Amino acid sequence: MHTILAKKQLSPNVTRLDVLAPRIAEIKKPGQFVILRAREGDERIPLTIADADPTQGTIALVIQAVGKSTREIVAMEVCDAIRDISGPLGHPTELISSGRALCVGGGVGTAVVHPIAKALHAQGVQVTSVIGGRAKEWVIFEEELNRLGEVIVCTDDGSHGRKGFVTDAAKEVLEAGGIDVVYAVGPVPMMRAVANLTRPFGVHTIVSLNPVMVDGTGMCGGCRVDVGGETKFACVDGPEFDGHQVDFDLLADRLQTYREFEQRANACADGQCRIRR
């Protein structure tokens, strides 16, 4: 059992839980994730480790409440216990050891960018972060990233930072020159846009395909993606890949696979389901 030690609302539908998991906190690396199961028999949820404190034995999980299972998890309170947390899983982030990196985070993806930027900063890499959200209340991890380097905030409505998309600000940074690698994490359309943006600049771009993961072990096949003409599994071969090699059209189709099932589960959770006889 893994006790929840702290809970914080980061945005209207994103919650941070600091959970006791000492063995994971001690060995986790940027880019890796865990599989969480709140109770016996519950759905398995893959979540990237947003931060860790080995001295306290805790890991930070940032959860976007979009489906039945994630809504149930964020409804848990401090001192409640999560049944299972397995990990760390997945390949660690490919980190450069010198130079300058651009980290681009959209929405809850900013929580995934944070440990990458933190590890780069610790190695002496100059980090510039471009993060975004629909409005001010949807921007997360700005304070944490500010400790690691320059941060440019973008909001769709201009209520915080500059008005516009993260790709607009990222383009200006790339045009100024000096960027050795780009790390992009967020909604699939955003990661596709960043990969398309960086391609003409010839800047290596790494994207995280955690949005497509299902069971996190490669057994279900739900996270199959095409990378450079080869079939890969996001959970066991990734979750991070060369953004210029990812088939984003196939990836977008894959994301639709379980949408109908999730809608039914949400309807039943709200008491709106109907049983056909």
Instruction: Let me know whether 190 and 81 are in one domain.
Output: no
Domain tally, the chain: 2
Local structure of 7: helix, strand or coil: strand
pTM more than 0.95: no
- Contact between residue 159 and residue 135 where contact means Cβ atoms under 8 Å apart: yes
Q: Evaluate if residue 102 carries a pLDDT over 80.
A: yes
Domain holding 58, by residue range, is 2-89
Burial zone of 41 (CB within 10 Å; 0-12 exposed, 13-18 middle, 19+ buried) = exposed
Choosing from 89, 116, 143, the residue where a domain stops is: 89
Check whether residue 173 and residue 153 sit in a common domain: yes
Do 104 and 65 belong together in one domain? no
Do 36 and 110 fall within a single domain? no
Q: Which residue has the tokens 């210029």?
A: 244
pLDDT in tens, 128-166: 999 999 999 999 999 999 999 999 999 999 999 999 999
Q: Does some domain include residue 259?
A: no
- With 60 as the cut, is the pLDDT of residue 272 above it? no
Mean pLDDT, range 67-73, rounded to an integer: 88
Instruction: Label residue 226 exposed, middle or buried (CB < 10 Å: 0-12, 13-18, 19+).
Output: middle
For residue 120, the model assigns a pLDDT of: 98
Please check whether residues 156 and 220 belong to one and the same domain: yes
Distance CA 197, CA 167 (A): 7
161: in domain: yes
